[in-house]
Structure 1
């Protein structure tokens, strides 16, 4: 089960503290902006606990395509396109369209249809939801990947249980609550249990 952005951020911050990592490097807004194709100010806003921008799906597609194209030109791959003309030709060959139309798309001037958007996600090596995800969803995906790198065996429910000192349980496969709801519920149950001395 995927966690929400606040939950993922909280878990990542705990791992950063646990492993004594540099928070400014792990949560570098500029690097995260490049990874998500989001404006840096949006990333900073979300990391500070702000709400995601209230934009429409169509408003996200063109800016993110352009951000990816700009990033690809700034950091070209071996034998890959080194300017917008070459990139447009490469994209055109991949999605089967004219170089002129491809350039308008990668410059954020034309919105591609669903089929082309799917092909573009494959071209850039991204999940098809990358271009349409909300800002918090896009950032959450990147942070989740980092959490998995730092703690490959992490499971949101097991993490809650571990934090609360529970050794084992069989409720995970039947859980209908989010990890945070589950945490609150289980913490309340544990507070009601008698202590070893009989007190509560």
Structure 2
């Protein structure tokens, strides 16, 4: 996996952490060691909450529906790591586990939707139709709408590189609508 070269300096000033699921590429030793134990951590369900609490975190909150934190409405959306056929295999289903997406809304600001590790499902369509996000942050390699693609060149189970993604984006003529950030690049969303 990619070494998070900005990790230690970028964690300062963070008000809360959202953990879409506890796979190693989203919640690992570095996070457990580096994040202040009293910082609010939002998770998708009690199993993830128990895991993170067992690492010494004292303010772990299960996100059910929506909640408001520091003036920002945080809404949980559905997500799944794979296809129905993949989940039909009990061993694979256990490895895939659960995943959630998250929508951030605040008065006077644009809406952002982090899809999380999910394939495109009815839940994704439902979230897009309900929240009508201005920004869509996808852990995928198939961008057809305005968004920011992430999760490339960083983890061992992703097959789409930034080079491949940029080539695809150019081929689709959507360069003005999709951003492919570099490792450590910080994007400001209005």
- Give TM-score, length-normalised by structure 2: 0.22
Higher relative contact order (CA 8 A, sep 6+): 1
Q: Could you tell me the TM-score, scaled by structure 1's length?
A: 0.21
Which structure has greater strand proportion?
A: 2
